[in-house]
Amino acid sequence: MGNFYKDNEDIQFLFRHLDLDKIAQLQEEDFRYAKDFDYAPEDACEAKQNYEMVLDAMGRLSADYIAPRSEDIDQEGNTLNEDGTVSYAKGIANALNALAKANVMGFTLPHRFGGLNFPNTIYSIAIEIVSRADASLMNLFGLQGIAETINFFADDDIKQHYLPDFAAGKVTGSMVLTEPDAGSDLQACKLRAFQDDDGNWYLHGVKRFITNGCSDVLLVLARSEERIGGLGLSLFVCDRGPTIKVRRLEDKLGIHGSPTCELFFDNTPCQIIGERQRGLVTYVMSLMNGARIGIAGQSMGIAEATYRVARDYAASREQFGVPIEKLPAVRDMVINMKMAIEAGRALLYQTSWIVDHEIGLNKIIERNEDKDSVKATRQELKFIKRLAGMLTPMSKYFCSEMSNTVSYDAIQVLGGSGYMRDYACERHARDARITTIYEGTSQLQVVAAVRGVCSGTGEKYLAQLAGKNYADSVKDLTKLLAEGTDTLLKAAVFVKEQGVDYMDLYGRQIVDMAIALIIGYYFCDQASSQVDMEVAIADNGDAEAPKTIPMVKRKEIIARRYITRNAALIKSLAEEVFSGDKTTFKEYETLIGPVPEIA
Amino acid sequence: METKSVGYDCVVLVKQVPDTKRITGQAMNEDGTVNRAALPAIFNPEDLNALELALDIKDKFGGTVTVMTMGLPAAADVLREGFYRGADQAILVTDRRCAASDTLATSYILSCGVKKLNPDIVLCGRQAIDGDTAQVGPQIAEKLSLPQITYVEELISLDGKTIVAKRNLGNGWQEVKAELPVLLTVLDTANEPRVPAAKRLMKCKAAKSRLEVEALAAEDDCIDVDATCEALEEKDLLIKQWDLDFLEADLKWCGRDGSPTKVHRIQSVVLAAKETKQVESSQTAIESMIHELIVDHTIG
């Protein structure tokens, strides 16, 4: 009888530490839905109780029902049948059914469509928990942004048509964007959308690498205009049917339970979402931002799963007469894994919170009940929007890279055993590998994030974080963070002076510095938390040693190690930036030589 | 005679039990009884399988699912769990005079409760993890003169008034046909219990018994017990509370008076094979083994 929520003290701590009252109030629009829906909360206290009960149930489902199926899912994969339909691995089909019965397939959808109307912060936690059980299932559970995109941008009759089925778990969706010649560069999409004389829309062309392309409902990015570029693209919704053929299922390194399809649309009837020409620039951008948060959550779940295997092994495997976790090199790896996970979690949950804040402020403006408050809200929204735009790619980048590092180290801790199929670590490493690639590569996340850092958003946010009240125990650390911020801002000025190419060349260094500082502040904030929670200390054989420690004390130790170690890293990253080295541009051909012939 | 147009009314008998999988040092009292305070109280695992089977019947054929338990006021927790998973109605049989009931008295009291509901199908878990007797279900069937199918692993068919179920006897299976109303006891291998549904969790967390409302009212003068219970009832969230008077139970069959079982002594028995012996598969070898067992009074 496991529980992936209840066995994770860090998640439970953050659940209490984050200001969920505010998010609940925004999400429930001052709790106006309680009178119409018997399951909608009456106040923030009840909302939080709801969130926690559902996470608890999902924790149980993930541990007892989904996780035991993950090995078979990985081995079985999906099947492309002769008639062009796709059968999910048995475990995936079972799990989807269980998730539908648990009412969690409309996690963030409004009550009126049968959704739970939960905030993204709670959705991120749920995605992490589900992904820990089976990473590939996240690609189905975590695709709820498709329904959310319909909810945000489609006409009401389209919403009424699709959303109740999404919320009931009767249908799944897919976001159909990528084409053979349009991957990272979606502006190059060619799939054609055209109208007949009556104005009905149809789709014609090929899409590739489509996660769950065999879904019931497809959101398709297509060229509806003669013009080239992003403004020639609109977004359409269509149902699975005989005019959509799954031509191929990809044979992948990991996430075997998630079917990746090549699709051919043969004059498929469809409906337009929102307005023409806004497909990529508005709707897909919004969809992708949600999906990036989802991938960050998936990355967290994989990292947590593989860390636990490694930790268990480090404590039980004996070499040289001691458990290997007594050896300095192994100890260090295990601590770094654990801390990297808590760092990623802090960043992801805080980012999700800010995304919820943005959505909530938008709702206040839409309701337009009080002119003065709308004006003030617009003002507040401006910065929150920019902040969400910076933190979202940061979370996706940091968590997915972290997940790969942790998966790599987990195998290292297990040594030869880690390389074998007998342990789940090799599966986790294969599953983690995609996270830095899809929904925008790490390189593209850095491009998006570095603009935020260099445009003043980073500076303003770091100043906000520096201005918070911290416990005396971490005051010295906030000084280190302030020094680091100075260094970062100087580096940001320097790259801007060098031009956009230089900014992209040294983007990773700038973004790494900014993330280290932001997470440093988050850890200080956690170490200053009012949340009263005792957590267990591992037994080191000393009977006199304390058995528990307050979480805030533990977080202080984490903050200290994280910030002092990163202070050195920030200096070294800055020096790389200040070096002015442009050999990447000037000497590429010389250093790399001609393209090799591949036999 | 009244005939039901759709569905089956199921009553699931559930029990709140100490989590015997998490035994700690203080799990037993000095007198050898279970220290219930030291162990977390949980929904008896196989009762969840029984509930799942009932919900499955409701999903397929329609009808209602009622969860019923006999226990202390705190047993309302398992009834709420029943609500979360999809039960329509919850009944708490609670009465001080139920205290110290053994399986015979318990089955008598519960049979009085079942009689009030007049269901098509009564479902129980095979056995509870605290006592492991597996007696209460069969005894209820006997008291109500219902056919019973025990050790159910699979519901094969349910057609009109006829049910066919597969029993797992450990060393083989039986398919048994019976006429409704019927009592089933369900194995843990029958299904995988569903998790609570989120919307039901959110709605039904407010479900309470009258005793629980009274306890809240004792702490808070603003709570009007009658009004609160009425409001809960309107939302189908009142856990019904039945006592022995309501059940019209004969008190001589209840509680201590109705319980012939007396615990004489409790002993921790550790079974360990000290030595093993291979017996050849021949008539003479088996005869000699039986003779040996009779001589040392193992059998006979």
Q: Report CB contact under 8 Å: A39, B21.
A: no
Report field, pTM of the whole predicted structure over 0.95:
no
Give the model's confidence band at B33: pLDDT under 50 very low, under 70 low, under 90 confident, else very high.
low
B201 to A38: CB separation less than 8 angstroms, yes or no: no
Looking at the structure, give the CATH architecture of the domain made up of residues A442-590. Answer: Up-down Bundle (1.20)
CA dist A293 and A126 (Å) reads 12
Task: Read off the pLDDT of residues B163-219 as tens digits, 9 standing for 90 and up.
Answer: 999 999 988 999 999 999 999 999 999 998 988 999 999 999 999 999 999 999 998
Q: What is the pLDDT at residue A510?
A: 97
> How far is B186 from chain A, CA to nearest CA, in Å?
20
- pLDDT tens digit sequence for A64-92: 999 999 999 999 999 999 988 999 999 99
- B200 in contact with A at a CB cutoff of 8 Å? yes
**CB within 8 Å: A50 and B202:** yes
B63 close to B10: Cβ distance less than 8 angstroms: yes
B24 — pLDDT class (breaks 50, 70, 90): low
CA dihedral A217, A222, A225, A229 (to 10 degrees): 140
β-strands B238-242, B89-93 pairing:
parallel
Rounded CA Rg of chain B: 22
Alpha helices in A317-370 (DSSP H): 328-367
The span from the CA of A133 to the CA of A138, in Å, is 9
The pLDDT score that the predictor gives to residue B226 is: 92
Asked whether residue B270 carries a pLDDT value surpassing 90, the answer given is: no
Asked whether residue B161 carries a pLDDT value surpassing 60, the answer given is yes
- pLDDT score at B2: 47
Examine the pLDDT at B85 and tell me if it is beyond 70.
yes
> Residue B32: which pLDDT band, with cuts at 50, 70 and 90?
low
Residues in chain A, pLDDT under 50: none
Give the minimum alpha-carbon distance from A529 to chain B in angstroms, rounded to a whole number: 28
Instruction: Name the residue with tokens 């070294």.
Output: A572
Question: Chain A residues with CB-CB distance to B under 8 A?
Answer: 1, 38-41, 49-50, 53-54, 57-58, 60-61, 65, 98, 101-104, 116
Determine, for residues B201 and A101 on separate chains, whether the beta-carbon distance falls below 8 Å. Answer: no
Asked if pLDDT for residue B4 goes beyond 70, the answer is: no
Interface check B194 vs A, CB under 8 A: yes
Residue to mutate among B77, B201, B205, B235, with most A CBs inside 10 A, is B201
User: Which one, of A367, A397, A153, A421, lies nearest residue A277 by Cα?
Assistant: A153
Average pLDDT, chain B: 87
d(CA A291, CA A396): 9
Structural domain spans, chain A = 9-168+280-436, 173-279, 442-590
Of A243, A248, A159, the C-alpha closest to A201 is A243
Q: Would you state the pLDDT for residue B102?
A: 80
Confidence class for position B23, pLDDT limits 50, 70, 90: low
Enumerate the residues of chain A whose CB falls inside 8 A of the CB of residue B129. Answer: none
pLDDT score at B1: 44
- Evaluate if residue B273 carries a pLDDT over 80: no
Q: What is the pLDDT of residue A308?
A: 98
Full 3-state SS string of chain B:
CCCCCCCEEEEEECCEEECHHHCCCCCECCCCCECHHHCCEEECHHHHHHHHHHHHHHHHHCEEEEEEEECCHHHHHHHHHHHHHCCCEEEEECCHHHCCCCHHHHHHHHHHHHHHHCCCEEEEECCCCCCCCCCHHHHHHHHCCCCEEEEEEEEEEEECCEEEEEEECCCCEEEEEEECCEEEEECCCCCCCCCCCHHHHHHHCCCEEHHHHHHHHHHCCCCCHHHHHHHHHHCCCEEEEECHHHHCCCHHHCCCCCCCCCCCCCCCCCCCCCCCCCCCCCHHHHHHHHHHHHHCCCCC
- The answer to whether B231 faces chain A, any CB pair under 8 Å, is no
As a whole number, mean pLDDT of residues B281-285 equals 90
- Architecture in CATH of B8-253: 3-Layer(aba) Sandwich (3.40)
Instruction: Say yes or no: B202 contacts chain A, CB-CB below 8 A.
Output: yes
Q: What tokens were used for B246?
A: 């309501």
Closest-CA distance of chain B to residue A223, Å: 40
| Mean pLDDT to the nearest integer, B29-39 | 68
* DSSP strand pairing (B148-159 vs B182-186): parallel
Domain A9-168+280-436, architecture per CATH: Up-down Bundle (1.20)
Q: Decide yes or no: CATH 2.40.110.10 for domain A173-279.
A: yes
